Structure 1
Amino acid sequence: MCESSRQPVAPTIKGPVYLQMGESKAQSGVCVLDLNLSSGRPVSIEELTFKNHYTAYLTVRLLRRSPEQGGLARWCTAVRDLPLMDNPHTEGGSQDYYSLHRTQMQEKPDHVVTVRLILRQPSSAWLTFSLEDIRVFPHMEPLKEPEKEVSDWLSDLILVDQHPDLEGLPDPQTVSSSIQQMWALTEVMQSNQTSASIGRFDVMTIEKDIDVLQMKVDISVK
């Protein structure tokens, strides 16, 4: 599918919510983003893209409402602790673009109503961390060509005539007989040439015999 033809779902993003530890309100290094796919019905996800902003690890959880389970919604983990930075304490990968395809997920992202992104940054070197430019692309089933019926396959076949048209051709037996006569005359001529010299009268006689035989062959062919 062409990139320009894909249209992402417009989710409602809730958060980010940074979790704190107890009453001290110290940062726990965990942030939660909820993407509500408010299209009125569940969405099957093809791809999830985003730009990182100093998040070290990403976990993706899906709230799925399967019609096979009577519409009951259940959470599942599709991606667990995916590294987004080479090292939480260094810049590598901190602002890169990422793409998560459905084939990279542990659970099939079908019939999803909410996507929960759990971000972790164990390093205290960064004051804030999050994800930006988040896009959710729906899964599109490929179009299938209609299956052909047996009658359609038979109509596509080209019938080949196994019997060639012999009309207008000479009789094979007649042609074979004429060729044998010419071969016999040739043998006689070769025998006469080796046994004795041929006079002028003999040559004329042989030429006459050849002409007569040739006329027979022509008549047979016609």
Structure 2
Amino acid sequence: MSRETVSFSQSGPTPVCVDEGALPSRTGCYVVTLTFPQPTQIGEITFRNYYTWAVGIHVLRVAYSSSANAGGIVGAGLLGGDMGGETTWAWKDPGAWQVGVKNKIIMPHPHTETASHDFVSVTCLESRVDWQDVIGLRLVLRQPSPVWRTFFIEEITAYRELPRLPPFSVPIIAQDGQGDKNQLTTPLDRLIEQTRRAMCIPEDESLEGGLSGGGYDLVALQYAS
């Protein structure tokens, strides 16, 4: 079953400069704004990277109240209430935006191409604030390296729910109380068995006991038999 996506309008990337007189082409920070037609729940944002070192996500939300003022909508997202039957949101109010994800590194080495074109997922579980009743998201793109003059993200998709986990792929072999000892009941048993074989440790010895017949002396930095 396909997952439900959330429609939005996108603006940007818009360059961000500390010095207003700086050239926008030389900034190391861009902002992409996603605007949702109505307050909605977001579970995951996915996109394709293009030389972006890190991404931050700022959230603009509304809060619903039982009071009658402002049409029942109050909170950080509202500016001036219901004006002429049309709700005006505080897009330009810095205090209305909450930092959900401060700085998620998606390109581990900014000066090299590692993960520069990877597919990236950011879920609501990584956020400091809930992604409920969201009307706007700002994706703050950062690239401190002067090597890449152009960086951005593309193929942005918003999903309402969290991603569904794939089924567990490691087969679990059931074991009776008097069953064969080679039948492994848990993935940890399988991992221990594979580690024993790789290290040539007999099955009757514990992994915590170290290698039988010799080992590497960390003090003398030499192999002792």
- TM-score tier after normalising by the smaller chain length: 0.5 to 0.7
Q: Which fold has the larger relative contact order, with Cα–Cα distance below 8 Å and residues 6 or more apart in sequence?
A: 2
**1:12 matched residue in structure 2:** 9
Structure 2 residue 25 is the aligned partner of structure 1 residue 22: no
Equivalent in 88, 102, 118 of residue 80 of structure 1: 102
1:70–1:16 CA distance, 2 compared to 1 (3 A):
same
Post-superposition CA distance 1:136-160 (Å, at most 9, x none): 11138xxxxxxxxxxxxxxxxxxxx
User: Based on CA coordinates, which of the two structures has the bigger radius of gyration?
Assistant: 1
More helix by share: 1
Q: Which moved more, 1:44-53 or 1:65-74?
A: 65-74
**After the TM superposition, which parts of structure 1 deviate over 6 Å for at least 4 consecutive aligned residues?**
none
More strand by share: 2
Structure 2 residue 141 is the aligned partner of structure 1 residue 119: yes
Amino acid at match of 1:48: I
Q: Write the mapping of 1:72-221 to structure 2, written as runs, cut at 5 A.
A: 72=75, 73=77, 74-139=96-161
What is the RMSD of the two structures over their aligned residues, measured on CA atoms?
A: 1.7
Q: Which runs of 5+ in 2 are unaligned?
A: 66-71, 78-95, 163-225
**1:36 matched residue in structure 2:** 35
Q: Which runs of 5+ in 1 are unaligned?
A: 141-222
Amino acid at match of 1:35: L
**What secondary structure, in the 3-state scheme, does the structure 2 residue paired with 1:35 have?**
strand
Structure 2 residue 73 is the aligned partner of structure 1 residue 51: no
Post-superposition CA distance 1:14-33 (Å, at most 9, x none): 00111233324152200000
1:104 Cα offset (Å): 1.7
Q: Among all aligned residue pairs of Structure 1 and Structure 2, give the percentage whose two residues are the same amino acid.
A: 30
**1:71 matched residue in structure 2:** 74
Q: Could you state the TM-score of these two structures normalised by the residue count of structure 2? A: 0.57
